[in-house]
Amino acid sequence: MTYTLAFDVYGTLINTHGIFSTLEKLIGEKAKSFTDTWRNKQLEYSFRRGLMNKYEGFSLCTKEALQFCCEMYKVNFTSAQKVALLEEYMVLPVFPDVVTGLKTLNASGHSLYAFSNGEAKAVSKLLTNAKVIDYFDGLVSAENIRTFKPNPSVYEHFNKKTNSSKSGSWLISSNPFDVIGAASYGMNTAWVQRSSDTVFDPWGIEPTVIIQEISDLNKYLATKA
């Protein structure tokens, strides 16, 4: 049996900590905390805007989160440095397992889609730069309905755009909030546990399967045939 696979992008396929080395050159030992806070605030701002029904694009959430970090860590980047950091965020690398994993799932006949809170143009640029765009049958962005995952309407939007069913689709994500959102909506879910230190939220909603690498999903789905 083949499935329609919805791949989260940021943190799942794309390593958002890829910007760490640049920040380390600029701010030294503050870089790790700065990077973590930037990512966490980026997500927080998207959640808050979604709850408030005050949609702005994910790129603005990223920009505002950067400004927050500059103020929090008392870092005085120039305007040019901020622009450069935001541009680098658009060309982040994929995790080492991604290409092999996408290839194996493609070879097994599954339909692969990038599925993101990010704007379609930005995500397309990101995946193109990472040289993985051609593995996907398409890209579904939350921007079309002006809200963010984990709102159930975003997962419903994915099913409508891909002409797929809840039972016939999978959400693949390293972000527990995303996995829980998709599972609550009714999709199958694979949590990509990128670090053994990552804790899954104890909400009583579990992923269908936990994997360490993208190719692990292909092995699991082969057992469901």
| Chain segment 35-72, per-residue pLDDT in tens | 999 999 999 999 999 999 999 999 999 999 999 999 99
Shared-domain flag, residues 29 and 139? no
> Which tokens go with 38?
């930037």
Domain that holds residue 70: 16-90
Number of domains in the chain: 2
State the Cα–Cα distance between residues 41 and 224, nearest whole angstrom.
Answer: 38
Shared-domain flag, residues 203 and 106? yes
Shared-domain flag, residues 215 and 166? yes
Shared-domain flag, residues 54 and 133? no
Domain boundary among 46, 69, 90: 90
| Chain segment 174-200, per-residue pLDDT in tens | 999 999 999 999 999 999 999 999 999
Shared-domain flag, residues 121 and 151? yes
State the Cα–Cα distance between residues 167 and 214, nearest whole angstrom.
Answer: 20
Domain boundary among 65, 90, 115: 90
Q: pTM for the full model?
A: 0.95
Residues in CB range of 118: below 8 A, 6 or more apart: 9, 10, 58, 59, 126, 141, 143
Residue 8: CATH number of its domain? 3.40.50.1000
